[in-house]
Amino acid sequence: DVKVTQSSRYLVKRTGEKVFLECVQDMDHENMFWYRQDPGLGLRLIYFSYDVKMKEKGDIPEGYSVSREKKERFSLILESASTNQTSMYLCATKRAGLNRETQYFGPGTRLLVL
Amino acid sequence: GNSVTQMEGPVTLSEEAFLTINCTYTATGYPSLFWYVQYPGEGLQLLLKATKADDKGSNKGFEATYRKETTSFHLEKGSVQVSDSAVYFCALSEDYGQNFVFGPGTRLSVLP
């Protein structure tokens, strides 16, 4: 069974703090993704990675960075958190290759920046 | 570029009513199409998918048919239950990319 876990379900941080969100998968998938989900805006892709140490910007990368040192782990970093980064953050993974492959999602991290 | 449009809702139905959530897409090439469901406080789960024209995906009483001529992938269920209350996302997987394109989501509330 596919399993994608995220380090926290809920997180409260202060403006200016450095924030780490971790995602771990056990399916040996090559591709990993970070999205944020906001009411009325749907899912927006922040960054994705198609291999260890590789990363690509998504639609809204500003204010974020990522790290993928191991295949199973993909971290999202907020260098200096701001209130407009309060959101639900979703990690997803997918096997590389054909477009019929499914994306599998973690349970999400709801981040509040005060 | 590629895009997905779906009715935003909210959609409110009584238990045992018929459900349709419309989804249309714009894509070059031959994408795969997906419906995901998100229950309150959780991540997205795959509900069903179809990978080529005229394919029908089905799961848990939900169905959707990949219609290339109308570029649509409408979600249907013959008799909804209170437990179907959730947000439903239509998505496509690009032909030669690794990314998905998601619709805005449709919130469904089913009343007893």
pLDDT tens series, chain A, 114 aa? 778 999 999 999 999 999 999 999 999 999 999 999 998 888 999 999 999 999 999 999 999 999 999 999 999 999 999 999 999 999 999 988 776 788 999 999 999 999
Tell me whether residues A104 and B46 touch, CB distance under 8 A.
Answer: yes
| pLDDT bucket at B23, cuts 50 / 70 / 90 | very high
| Cα Rg of chain B (Å, integer) | 13
The average pLDDT across B28-32 equals 85
- Residue B15 Cα, gap to closest chain A Cα (Å): 26
Tell me whether residues B43 and A90 touch, CB distance under 8 A.
Answer: yes
Determine which of A29, A38, A60, A103 to mutate to test the interface with B (most B C-beta atoms within 10 Å). A103
Tokens, residue A11 = 């997180």
- Residue A100 Cα, gap to closest chain B Cα (Å): 5
C-alpha separations of A33 from A2, A3, A59, A94, B98 in Å: 15, 14, 12, 8, 10
| pLDDT bucket at B95, cuts 50 / 70 / 90 | low
Q: Which of A33-37, A59-63, B5-9, B63-67 has the lowest mean pLDDT?
A: B5-9
- Residue A64 Cα, gap to closest chain B Cα (Å): 19
Distance CA B98, CA B92 (A): 11
Report chain A residues whose CB lies below 8 A from the CB of B106. none
